[in-house]
Structure 1
Amino acid sequence: MKTDFKFSNLCGTVYTKGNLCFTPDGNSLLSPVGNRVTLFDLVNNKSFTFPFENKKNISRIALSPNASLLLSIDEEGRVLLVNFQRRVVLHEFNFKSSVVDVQFSPDGKYFGVAVGKTIKVWKSPGFNREFAPFIFHHQYTGHYDDVTSITWSSDSRFFLSTSKDMTTKIHPILLNNEFNTVTLSGHRDYVVNAFFSGNQESIYTISKDGVLLIWVFIASNEDKHERWRITSRHYFNQSGAKVICSAYHIKSNLLVVGFSSGIFGIWEMPEFNNIHTLSISQKKINSVSINETGEWLAFGSSKLGQLLVWEWQSESYVLKQQGHFYDMNTLSYSNDGQYIATGGDDGKVKVWNTMSGFCFVTFSEHSSGVMMVEFAKSGQVLFSASLDGTVRAFDLIRYRNFRTFTSPTPIQFFSLAVDPSGEIVCAGSMDTFEVFVWSVQTGKLLDIITGHEGPISGLAFSPSGLLLVSSSWDGTVRIWDIFGRGKHVEVLRHNSDVLTVAFRPDGKQLVSSTLDGQITFWDVESGTQVASIEGRKDISGGRKENDRRTAENSSSGKSFNSLCYSADGSCVIAGGNSKYVCLYDVEGQLLIKKYQISHNLSFDGIREFLNSKYMTEAGPLNLIDLTGDASDLEDRLDVSLPGTQKGDLSVRRVMPEIRTKSIKFSPTGRSWAAASTEGLLIYSLDETLVFDPFDLEMDITPASILETLRSADFLKALVMAFRLNESHLIHKVYEAIPPEDIELVIKDLPEKYIDRLLKFISNHMEESPHIEFHLLWVSKMLTTHGKYLKQHSNEFNSSFRLMQKAINRMQEDISKL
Structure 2
Amino acid sequence: MKTDFKFSNLCGTVFRKGNLVFTPDGNSVLSPVGNRITVFDLVNNKAETLPLENKRDIRRLALSPNGNLLLSVDELGQALLINFRKRTVLSYFKLKGKVRDIKFSPDGKYFAVGIGRSVEVWRSPGYAREFAPFELHHRHGGHYDDITHISWSPDSRFFLTSSKDMATKIYSVDPIEGFRPTTLTGHRYAVVGAWFSKDMSAIYTVSSDGAVCVRRFRPHGVEENLVFGEFPRDEEGNLVRTIWFTEERHYAMQTARVHSAAFSWATGLMVLGFTNGVFGIWEMPGFNMVHSLSISRAKINTIAINTTGEWLAFGSSKLGQLLVWEWQSETYVLKQQGHFYDMACVAYSGDGQYVATGGDDAKLKIWNALTGYCFITFTEHTSAVTAVHFTKGSQVVLSASLDGTVRAYDLVRYRNFRIFTSPTPVQFTSLAVDASGEIVCAGCQDTFEIYMWSMQTGKLLDVLSGHEGPISGLCFRPDGLSLASSAWDRTVRLWDVFDRSKIVERLDHNSEVLDVTFRPDGKELSASTLDGQIHFWDVLKAAPTGSIEGRRDIAGGRKVGDRVTAANNSSGKCFNSLCYSADGTAILGGGNSKFVCLYDRRSGILLRKFQVSKNQSLDGVQEKLNSKHMTEAGPTDLIDSDGIDSDTEKQADRSLPGVKSGDKSNRLLKPEVRTRAIKFSPTGRQWAAASTEGLLIYSLDETLVFDPYELDEDVTPDTIRGLARKGEYLRALVNAFRLNEKPVIREVYESIPPLDVALLAKDFPEAYLERLLKFIASIMESSQLLEFHLRWVSGLLSNHGTFVKTRSVALQPVLRMLQRSISRMHQDIGTVCDKNHYSLDYLLVQGKRAVEKNKDEEETSATDGVTMSNIFSGFSDDEEKNIDADAVSEDAMEVDDAGVPTSV
Sort the Cα spacing of 1:633 and 1:515 in 2 relative to 1 into closer, same or farther, 3 A.
closer
* Shift in Å, 1:398: 0.9
- Secondary structure class of the residue paired with 2:553: helix
Are 2:268 and 1:238 equivalent residues in the alignment? no
What is the letter of the counterpart of residue 666 of structure 1?
S
* Shift in Å, 1:96: 2.5
* Shift in Å, 1:553: 3.1
Distance 1:133 1:810 in 2: 59
Are 2:688 and 1:658 equivalent residues in the alignment? no
- Secondary structure class of the residue paired with 2:568: coil
Q: Name the counterpart of 2:573.
A: 558
**Residue by residue, what CA displacement relative to the aligned partner does 1:2-34 show, whole Å, maximum 9, x if unpaired?**
000000000000000000001000001100000
Whichever of the two has the greater Rg, that structure is 2
Sort the Cα spacing of 1:23 and 1:515 in 2 relative to 1 into closer, same or farther, 3 A.
same
- Secondary structure class of the residue paired with 1:463: coil
Say whether the 8 Å CA contact 1:557–1:578 is kept in structure 2: no
Sort the Cα spacing of 1:631 and 1:562 in 2 relative to 1 into closer, same or farther, 3 A.
closer
Sort the Cα spacing of 1:190 and 1:799 in 2 relative to 1 into closer, same or farther, 3 A.
farther
Distance 1:380 1:17 in 2: 36
What percent of counterpart residues are identical?
Answer: 58
Sort the Cα spacing of 1:605 and 1:739 in 2 relative to 1 into closer, same or farther, 3 A.
closer
> What does 1:46-195 correspond to in 2, within 5 Å?
46-195=46-195
Counterpart among 300, 324, 337 of residue 322 in structure 1: 337
Sort the Cα spacing of 1:88 and 1:402 in 2 relative to 1 into closer, same or farther, 3 A.
same
Distance 2:283 2:393 in 1: 54
> What does 1:486-565 correspond to in 2, within 5 Å?
486-565=501-580
Q: Bigger shift: 782-791 or 400-409?
A: 782-791
What is the letter of the counterpart of residue 582 of structure 2?
A
**Residue by residue, what CA displacement relative to the aligned partner does 1:205-243 show, whole Å, maximum 9, x if unpaired?**
00111000001112245695321111100000101x111
What is the letter of the counterpart of residue 128 of structure 2?
N
Are 2:436 and 1:406 equivalent residues in the alignment? no
**Residue by residue, what CA displacement relative to the aligned partner does 1:175-230 show, whole Å, maximum 9, x if unpaired?**
23332111111111111100111101011000111000001112245695321111
* Shift in Å, 1:485: 4.2
Q: Name the counterpart of 2:821.
A: 791
Say whether the 8 Å CA contact 1:557–1:576 is kept in structure 2: no
**Residue by residue, what CA displacement relative to the aligned partner does 1:502-532 show, whole Å, maximum 9, x if unpaired?**
0111111110011000110011111111101
Sort the Cα spacing of 1:605 and 1:511 in 2 relative to 1 into closer, same or farther, 3 A.
same
Q: Name the counterpart of 2:583.
A: 568
Say whether the 8 Å CA contact 1:755–1:799 is kept in structure 2: no
> What does 1:680-691 correspond to in 2, within 5 Å?
680-689=695-704
Sort the Cα spacing of 1:372 and 1:714 in 2 relative to 1 into closer, same or farther, 3 A.
closer
Are 2:209 and 1:209 equivalent residues in the alignment? yes
* Shift in Å, 1:373: 0.6
* Shift in Å, 1:549: 3.2
More helix by share: 2
What is the letter of the counterpart of residue 326 of structure 1?
Y
Distance 1:476 1:366 in 2: 30
Are 2:255 and 1:225 equivalent residues in the alignment? no
What is the letter of the counterpart of residue 177 of structure 1?
E
* Shift in Å, 1:744: 12
**Residue by residue, what CA displacement relative to the aligned partner does 1:307-352 show, whole Å, maximum 9, x if unpaired?**
0011111111111110110010000110001111111101111111
Q: Name the counterpart of 1:642.
A: none
Say whether the 8 Å CA contact 1:755–1:796 is kept in structure 2: no
Distance 1:253 1:745 in 2: 65
Say whether the 8 Å CA contact 1:625–1:654 is kept in structure 2: no
More strand by share: 1
> What does 1:620-659 correspond to in 2, within 5 Å?
620-625=635-640, 635-636=649-650, 653-659=668-674
What is the letter of the counterpart of residue 287 of structure 2?
F
- Secondary structure class of the residue paired with 1:791: helix
Say whether the 8 Å CA contact 1:44–1:798 is kept in structure 2: no
* Shift in Å, 1:624: 2.8
What is the letter of the counterpart of residue 791 of structure 1?
S
Counterpart among 409, 426, 430 of residue 445 in structure 2: 430
Distance 1:168 1:698 in 2: 66
- Secondary structure class of the residue paired with 1:205: strand
* Shift in Å, 1:294: 1.2
Distance 2:704 2:335 in 1: 33
Say whether the 8 Å CA contact 2:325–2:333 is kept in structure 1: yes
TM-score for the superposition, normalised by structure 2: 0.79
Distance 2:257 2:536 in 1: 59
Q: Name the counterpart of 2:199.
A: 199
Distance 2:366 2:573 in 1: 30
Sort the Cα spacing of 1:471 and 1:129 in 2 relative to 1 into closer, same or farther, 3 A.
same
Sort the Cα spacing of 1:812 and 1:138 in 2 relative to 1 into closer, same or farther, 3 A.
farther
Sort the Cα spacing of 1:126 and 1:802 in 2 relative to 1 into closer, same or farther, 3 A.
farther
Say whether the 8 Å CA contact 2:776–2:818 is kept in structure 1: no
Distance 2:454 2:305 in 1: 52
What is the letter of the counterpart of residue 495 of structure 1?
N
Distance 1:634 1:544 in 2: 23
Structure 1 regions of 5+ residues with no counterpart?
639-650, 700-704, 717-724, 759-776
Q: Name the counterpart of 2:493.
A: 478
What is the letter of the counterpart of residue 495 of structure 2?
W
Say whether the 8 Å CA contact 2:558–2:622 is kept in structure 1: yes
What is the letter of the counterpart of residue 78 of structure 1?
Q
> What does 1:206-355 correspond to in 2, within 5 Å?
206-220=206-220, 224-239=240-255, 241-355=256-370
Q: Name the counterpart of 2:393.
A: 378
Q: Name the counterpart of 1:702.
A: none
Distance 1:288 1:498 in 2: 48
Q: Bigger shift: 216-225 or 490-499?
A: 216-225
* Equivalenced residues, count: 763
Distance 2:679 2:572 in 1: 19
Sort the Cα spacing of 1:714 and 1:784 in 2 relative to 1 into closer, same or farther, 3 A.
closer
Distance 1:109 1:246 in 2: 25
Distance 2:599 2:284 in 1: 63
- Secondary structure class of the residue paired with 1:552: helix
- Secondary structure class of the residue paired with 2:567: coil
**Residue by residue, what CA displacement relative to the aligned partner does 1:711-759 show, whole Å, maximum 9, x if unpaired?**
999999xxxxxxxx9xxxx9xxx9x99998999999999887777764x
Say whether the 8 Å CA contact 1:113–1:120 is kept in structure 2: yes
**Residue by residue, what CA displacement relative to the aligned partner does 1:284-321 show, whole Å, maximum 9, x if unpaired?**
00011111221111100000000001111111111111
Distance 2:329 2:575 in 1: 50
**Residue by residue, what CA displacement relative to the aligned partner does 1:38-64 show, whole Å, maximum 9, x if unpaired?**
000010000000010000000100111
Distance 1:230 1:355 in 2: 53
Distance 1:709 1:586 in 2: 42
Say whether the 8 Å CA contact 2:754–2:788 is kept in structure 1: no
Sort the Cα spacing of 1:455 and 1:709 in 2 relative to 1 into closer, same or farther, 3 A.
closer
- Secondary structure class of the residue paired with 1:320: strand
**Residue by residue, what CA displacement relative to the aligned partner does 1:593-651 show, whole Å, maximum 9, x if unpaired?**
10000000000000111210000112211123559x7899874479xxxxxxxxxxxx8
Say whether the 8 Å CA contact 1:378–1:421 is kept in structure 2: no
Say whether the 8 Å CA contact 2:780–2:786 is kept in structure 1: no
Distance 1:596 1:264 in 2: 40
Sort the Cα spacing of 1:449 and 1:740 in 2 relative to 1 into closer, same or farther, 3 A.
closer
Distance 2:849 2:475 in 1: 61
**Residue by residue, what CA displacement relative to the aligned partner does 1:391-411 show, whole Å, maximum 9, x if unpaired?**
111111111111111111111
